[in-house]
Amino acid sequence: MKRVKCPKCDKYITFDETRYSEGQTLVFECPDCHRQFGIRMGTSHLMATRKDERRQPQPEETTSDCGEIIVIENVFHYRQTLPLQMGDNVIGRYVKGSNINTPIETVDPSVDTTHCVINVKRNRAGELIYTLRDAPSGTGTFVGNTILRDNDRLQIQDGTIITIGATTMILRAAGADEEETTAERR
């Protein structure tokens, strides 16, 4: 099964791609906004270009050097891995035209478009420090059972569970997989 996103309302439409051949043009009508749009079966040149852009290391640090947020799948969205970058990572619900740099593709109405921020920086010893703060949001940002107030700043580390609305995320610090592998060898 394959999913396509409506260009007007960003809703997903699922279809069986095995029933169609490469190069065939399909026309869909969004069940929500009734917009008609077409796609062409086969490899997207735009997606290939975007993948190449993501692979390019940034001058200061590569994205993988800063860790990532893993969004746990639930009824509102699928599992997602969001790479972090140095500085502020503004996390929220993806809305077409928004300017956040770490969007979650979700239909969870309890996640604000700008919900929380994870700041990534290095301390004097060169170690990465992750600091979480609420954006502020309407439903709050939780770490465990603790809610962050508007002015709270909380240092978090690998494995920290963060909840925004009905969405749960886990921080994977940079190098966490390497540390686990080294510990398993011992």
Look at residue 50 in the predicted model and tell me its pLDDT: 46
Domain assignments of the chain as residue spans, ordered by start: 2-45, 59-178
Pairing of strands 36-40, 167-172: unpaired
Q: What is the dihedral of CA 1, 49, 60, 97, to 10 degrees?
A: -70
Whether pTM exceeds 0.75 = no
Look at residue 51 in the predicted model and tell me its pLDDT: 47
156/169 Cα distance (integer angstroms): 12
Q: Which of 12, 43, 17 is nearest to 30 (CA)?
A: 12
Look at residue 178 in the predicted model and tell me its pLDDT: 53
Check if CATH label 3.40.640.10 holds for domain 59-178. no
Dihedral sign (CA 167, 173, 174, 177): negative
Look at residue 64 in the predicted model and tell me its pLDDT: 53
Token pair of 77, please? 């969205």
124/147 Cα distance (integer angstroms): 29
169/80 Cα distance (integer angstroms): 9
Token pair of 181, please? 């592998």
Within 8 A by CB and 6+ apart from 175, the residues are: none
Tens of each residue's pLDDT in the chain, 186 residues: 788 888 788 888 888 888 888 878 888 888 888 888 888 887 555 444 444 444 444 444 444 589 999 999 888 888 999 999 999 999 999 988 888 999 999 889 999 999 999 999 999 999 999 999 998 899 999 998 899 988 899 999 999 999 999 999 999 998 876 544 444 444
